[in-house]
Amino acid sequence: MSIEINLISDTVTKPTPGMLDAMMTAEVGDDVFKADPSINALEDKLAKMFGMEAALYFPTGTMTNQAAINLHTQPGQQLICDKYAHVYNYEGGGVSFNSGVSCKLIDGHRGMMTAEQVEAAINPPDFYHSPKTALVCIENTTNKGGGACWDFEELKKIKTVCEKHDLAYHLDGARLWNAMVKKGESPQQYGALFDTISVCLSKGLGCPVGSVLLGSSTLVGEALRVRKVLGGGMRQAGFLAAAGTYALDHQLERLAQDHQKAAEIGSVLEQLPFIKKVEPIETNIIIFEIDELKMAASSFVEKLAQKQIHLIGMGQGKLRIVTHLNYTDTQHEAFLKILQTL
């Protein structure tokens, strides 16, 4: 049996036949003139879903986050985020490159911080030697934190801190879908809390590309110019937006299956003698550590690769597995068996 099992990320998903159909039959127009009906429909749908005034389609989640940061800050100012944050670690230094902003990093737990930590990280506004704190960025679920979900009560406490200190509040919700499915939360409760939210459609949902920024009409109106500056104005991208609408209608509920599979993989890993630690698994990301006295992490990856199973290392003996739309029941069964025979 030779089946390729790709567990490196939930970004490896491909459009399903139903999604391809929706793309092929999409009505399109020039979105730079706001004349693409499929993009307008996706933006309206998401704005309604989150109970926010407006939404704007972007090619990538990185661009959406970068636009949001740009909207909320002035050059020289500072944002607060966890040390694991995607905006700090994985957006190519865009925070400083695009917006001239620095990051105050919080030493949180699995990518999540407390309201107390946030408040303590704010620079006093009258102390002119320090950068002015302007923004707090949250990530849910946390990527580097292993798919962890925030406690909504803590998010509310951080909101209160933001209001008290006049800070903007942005949510990097690349995998917010996973968090909401896991916790039984609604998009409206997030929409009511944050000034801006970015969501991804290309992770686990099967879209080839796509991310959306949500916010007030004023902020989203300004985001149009920022997106232009970043080179993100697209023309007949409705073919891609149609994939997003299809994903929201058909692929959200099934994320629970990815979470279930991740939990099952975790249980098997925990039983293997050369695994030192499996981080708690809440959604579709599994981070685990190999006991390198017993087996090198690289040789574990190599052994699986020989069997056409792919995962990635995160350094220091840590490895990552991500379940997703195209990781099928058959692949899951095969993978669990192979793991048990290693």
Ligand X SMILES: *Cc1c(COP(=O)(O)O)cnc(C)c1O
196 contributes a contact to ligand X by CB under 6 A:
no
Q: Does 172 bind ligand X (CB under 6 A)?
A: yes
Interacting stretch for ligand X, rule CB under 6 A, among 20-28, 67-75, 199-207, 248-256? 199-207
Q: What residues contact 304, with CB distance under 8 A and at least 6 apart?
A: 310, 311, 338, 342
Tokens (6 digits) for 283 = 């959604």
Q: How many residues bind ligand X (CB under 6 A)?
A: 13
Piece of the chain touching ligand X by CB under 6 A; list 59-67, 241-249, 258-266, 289-297: 59-67
62 touching ligand X, by CB under 6 A: yes
Site string for ligand X, 65-84 (x = CB under 6 A): x-------------------
Q: Beta-strand (E) ranges in the chain? A: 5-6, 54-58, 78-82, 102-106, 133-139, 168-173, 196-200, 211-215, 275-278, 285-290, 309-310, 312-315, 318-322
Helix (H, G, I), strand (E, B) or coil at 136: strand
Assess 247 for contact with ligand X (CB under 6 A): no
What mask, x for binding ligand X by CB under 6 A, covers residues 125 to 164? --------------x---x---------------------
Tell which residue, 109, 143, 108, 202, has the closest CA to residue 320: 143
- The yes or no reply on residue 178 touching ligand X (CB under 6 A) is no
Query: Which residue in 7, 106, 174, 237 binds ligand X (CB under 6 A)?
Result: 174
Tell me: does residue 170 bind ligand X (CB under 6 A). no
Give the range of 119-127, 200-208, 220-228, 267-275 binding ligand X by CB under 6 A.
200-208
Sheet holding 211-215: strands in order across?
54-58, 211-215, 196-200, 168-173, 133-139, 78-82, 102-106
| Interatomic CA distance for residues 77 and 100, integer angstroms | 8
Q: Which stretch binds ligand X (CB under 6 A): 56-64, 125-133, 179-187, 307-315?
A: 56-64
Angle, helices 238-250/17-24, rounded to nearest 10 degrees: 140
86 lines the binding site for ligand X (CB under 6 A): yes
Question: Which of 95/122 has CB closer to ligand X?
Answer: 95
Are 39 and 238 contacting, i.e. CB atoms less than 8 angstroms apart?
Answer: yes
Per rule CB under 6 A, is residue 324 in the interface with ligand X?
Answer: no
Question: Which residues here bind ligand X, judged by CB under 6 A?
Answer: 60-62, 65, 86, 139, 143, 172, 174, 200, 202-203, 211
